[in-house]
Structure 1
């Protein structure tokens, strides 16, 4: 296993959930398949051809590892920090009134928002108050979405799916970085971060490699000819996973009604609901957030 490098810092505490580490990533074909849960039915999780997954040898951090990762408020920027925290109590009370825990599908979640106009307006007011208190500038709503229970990773590209697709058509992306339009590896740090609320009834997890894209770029540069291989924003994930499969990943717990803030354009990551039995529900905003 590669030794952790100082990089992206984690701002959390024991009350905000557990933090674990593993020994790296593995190609999805080299690991026993996982079973998704959808409405009490189980389906084998399938992946895109080049998908890499976190190894399952999670363990608590050693003291020296935690000291490398823990936030110290030195050089703290939106592009090199991850924050885990709890939503304000008034906002939790409002979300409780939506009874999202009874929803069994994304459509049912959407219906609860559509059928409670006054309550949703109140939620929007409180959400905006909260986000404005931690925002460095303009922000925008990205999505209200759901993920399957017991999903080893949650990200997939539904744009590739056929009309009338079923759960068996899904192909999950694997550990990845997000990519905004006109982004390069040298400008990824300028694209802000995201805040994601866990509105489900069980913990979910942020999976993360604590390296920025510039750190990754320079690690790859020491191994291969950057120009010859045309390392860019689109292919850097594949190259890193092949060259450094034993660089550890982090697994950060996000409890119900907790949020994470992470620079997902500037690091390798994914979400996970591994071990859960209920629908995962998340609300996400994009901006430049700092606590």
Structure 2
């Protein structure tokens, strides 16, 4: 099935050919550690065609902060922050207590990291006086192709959920398009992966409902939308894009079917995640460098 026009990619190095692969479709996750009706990519990948790249890469007229809810931006951390990350040695972190112990031994190093990362996140904000929160600093290892666990209604177990739409703005579909977006920063020297369907939730509902055989899906919650999408479109490609060491992505994760993936990493996946309204295109520091 061919890719549809919707969510676009912007990368600081424009190296899309080296970053992208497409799955041959999706499948139900059968492992006991997954919630029922969870979906992930079929683990068979192909390189995108020139036509695929043209659909995914953001053209000049798309690079606007007003399209933050339909753009994924990938940037490299400034050199001075990379140096602090290497000094802290996030590569060797196994558990949260490791960071706590290091902070107690070298508080000035962590204070420098906190100050620099805070200033950096401020520069990414679309509106400088808007609020943002540091949402999490996950330290994860995962044998599966997706990595997010969560609780779902009516199920007590904290299980993997597969490709999903985040619900930080609420559960209803109407809130997806106006939700904040998310920064996820790779603090280590190994790459990680972002998996996603390149159609925003609002475009699934309002633009492509007939094309995707979802005409009757006009209400419901985010989990129901994801399940219906994959049931009706098992051959739609999942996009896999590599997030290199010390890079971050800015993505509309409340308006996007997605998940992270650790792939073949040897180290724990250590990231810093922030929620707010961030620019998915070149911020001021990138233009200056």
For normalisation by structure 2, the TM-score amounts to 0.84
SS at match of 2:159: coil
Question: 5 Å matches for 1:153-172?
Answer: 153-157=146-150, 171-172=159-160
1:150, CA displacement in angstroms? 4.3
1:131, CA displacement in angstroms? 1.5
Residue 51 of structure 1 is matched in structure 2 by: 38
Give CA-to-partner distance per residue, 1:89-108, whole Å, 9 cap, x none: 01111111112222223432
Aligned with residue 196 of structure 2, among 208, 217, 221: 208
1:72, CA displacement in angstroms? 1.2
Structure-1 separation of matches of 2:171 and 2:152: 20
Structure-2 separation of matches of 1:142 and 1:266: 17
Structure-2 separation of matches of 1:112 and 1:152: 31
Structure-1 separation of matches of 2:136 and 2:224: 26
Give CA-to-partner distance per residue, 1:107-134, whole Å, 9 cap, x none: 3244334543222221122112212222
- 2:167 aligned with 1:179, yes or no? yes
- 2:89 aligned with 1:107, yes or no? no
- 2:3 aligned with 1:9, yes or no? no
Residue 37 of structure 1 is matched in structure 2 by: none
* CA distance 1:280–1:153, shift in 2 (3 Å): same
Give CA-to-partner distance per residue, 1:224-258, whole Å, 9 cap, x none: 5636x853334111111111111111111011111
1:79, CA displacement in angstroms? 0.4
Aligned with residue 119 of structure 1, among 106, 109, 133: 109
* CA distance 1:257–1:16, shift in 2 (3 Å): farther
SS at match of 1:205: strand
Which is further off, 14-23 or 239-248? 14-23
Residue 287 of structure 2 is matched in structure 1 by: none
CA contact (8 A) 1:198 1:283 kept: yes
Aligned with residue 64 of structure 1, among 47, 51, 60: 51
SS at match of 1:82: strand
User: Which sections of structure 2, spanning at least 5 residues, go unmatched?
Assistant: 282-289
CA contact (8 A) 2:164 2:223 kept: no
Residue 39 of structure 1 is matched in structure 2 by: none
1:197, CA displacement in angstroms? 0.7
For normalisation by structure 1, the TM-score amounts to 0.84
Tell me how large the CA RMSD over aligned residues is: 2.5
CA contact (8 A) 1:200 1:256 kept: yes
CA contact (8 A) 1:148 1:279 kept: yes
CA contact (8 A) 2:133 2:274 kept: yes
Give CA-to-partner distance per residue, 1:2-43, whole Å, 9 cap, x none: 2101110001122896111112210112xxx6xxxxxxxxxx
User: Which sections of structure 1, spanning at least 5 residues, go unmatched?
Assistant: 34-44, 163-168
Residue 176 of structure 2 is matched in structure 1 by: 188
Structure-2 separation of matches of 1:225 and 1:159: 25
Structure-2 separation of matches of 1:257 and 1:182: 30
CA contact (8 A) 1:149 1:278 kept: no
1:278, CA displacement in angstroms? 1.5
- 2:22 aligned with 1:21, yes or no? yes
Residue 80 of structure 2 is matched in structure 1 by: 90
Structure-2 separation of matches of 1:71 and 1:270: 21
CA contact (8 A) 1:17 1:254 kept: no
CA contact (8 A) 1:25 1:55 kept: yes
Structure-1 separation of matches of 2:214 and 2:85: 50
1:204, CA displacement in angstroms? 0.6
CA contact (8 A) 1:177 1:265 kept: yes
